[in-house]
Amino acid sequence: MKKYSLLPLVGLALLTATFTSCKDDKKVEPDMTFDELKVKVLSDFGPTVGNPLYSDFETKAASLQTAVTTLAATPTQANLDAARTAWKDVRVVWEQSEGFLIGPVEDDNYDPYMDTWPTDHNAMENLLAGSDPLTADFLTGYNDPDKEAEMTLRGFHPLEYLLWGTDGNRQASTITQREKDYMIALATDIHNNVSALKTKGVTFFASELSQPGVTGSRYTSKKDAIEAIANGLIDIVGEVGDGKMVEPFGATVNEADSTITESPYSHNSLIDFRNNIIGARNAYLCSYGSATGKSLSDLVKANNATLDQTIKSQFDAAINSFDGITTTFEKAVYNQRSQVQNTITALTTLKGTLEGSLVPYIQQYVKD
């Protein structure tokens, strides 16, 4: 994903009137200075958001592997439904994790290994018709993110195709032995990747994100580390609003293409998109489940409560706008275009604020 640079200093001169000044030793909370808050924002992110989410991700990936293995052994419609539910459950956590695609998930290409789309069902059928051994080890040979055609044969979406079929109405009785082998390989590969990500995430959050400037951390300063979290928000909001939704939507209804949505077989695309933005909001608020920590929100609120409220309100507006789309995204690109456009507009507004106000705020107030 593209990283966003901070605005040049010349441009920042025009922005200084927008923000009130603050010394780092000023008490921004009853027991904390702004300097202390910066440290706390970075040290809280892993224990509050990153590690618990990756732990949930691993648990749900294990459940998916179990459900798929059970389906392959006993291909009943009930077991197919259970595998579909497990697939949707793990997608919730994965899509929320895309609110902070930093560290090992980016370094080690877990995103393309698990979530490349759109798929080509003809390519999947050709693989199934061949003689290659359909095992998790075989799938790890598809390891070059630049070879997108190969990446589409690995991860969530070929498994989605096997579970739902092209029409979303797959029957368990039609699953072949090669398809059983392939779905077990896919689910195992996903679980293996998530387990590795969980382990590497613990080290990243403890030794890099929370330790900027220390030997071994990729971040040379607190500003770099805080900017990485902010860029993660911008990246995913932009990906949903500028790519995931816009490309299938097309400029006109005649240019709409429901075959290139993220999760077309399960019709889970809208849920995917919404969870992306929920994940970004969680990252901004340093919140996951019932846990909260010191956050970017607290850092912004310390000097510009209006900006913080604007960002939170725009996150809420973008997330709530999905409620206006009352059919699947695959249908909405044709027959609920105004509702889809409302969501795209809300995401564009949010992205503009994150780029145009949050990033300059970090430039102005986080100097070390």
pLDDT in tens, 194-244: 999 999 999 999 999 999 999 899 999 999 999 999 999 999 999 999 999
Give ∠ CA 285-195-98 in degrees, rounded to 5. Answer: 35
CA–CA gap between residue 131 and residue 326 (Å, rounded): 43
pLDDT at residue 165, as a whole number: 95
Confidence (pLDDT) at 19: 41
The residue behind tokens 């609120």 is: 301
pLDDT at 53: 98
CA-closest candidate to residue 362, choices 5, 3, 98, 1: 5
> For position 121, what pLDDT does the model report?
86
**Residue keyed to tokens 């809300």:** 346
Kindly tell me the number of DSSP H helices and DSSP E strands found in the chain. 19, 4
Predicted TM-score of the model (pTM): 0.91
Q: Which residues of the chain have pLDDT under 70?
A: 1-30
pLDDT for the residue numbered 2: 35
Amino acid occupying residue 145: P
Q: Which residues are bridge partners to 291 per DSSP? A: 288
Residue 306: which residues within 8 A CB-CB, separation 6 or more?
Answer: none
Torsions phi, psi of 134, nearest 5? -90, 85
For the chain, the domains span 9-365
Q: Find tokens 């999905």 and name the residue.
A: 322
Whether residue 198 contacts residue 58, with contact meaning beta carbons closer than 8 Å, is answered with: yes
* pLDDT of res. 280: 99
Contact yes or no for 353/241 (Cβ under 8 A): no
The CA distance from 18 to 305, in Å, is 12
pLDDT at 6: 36
The highest-level CATH class for domain 9-365 is mainly alpha
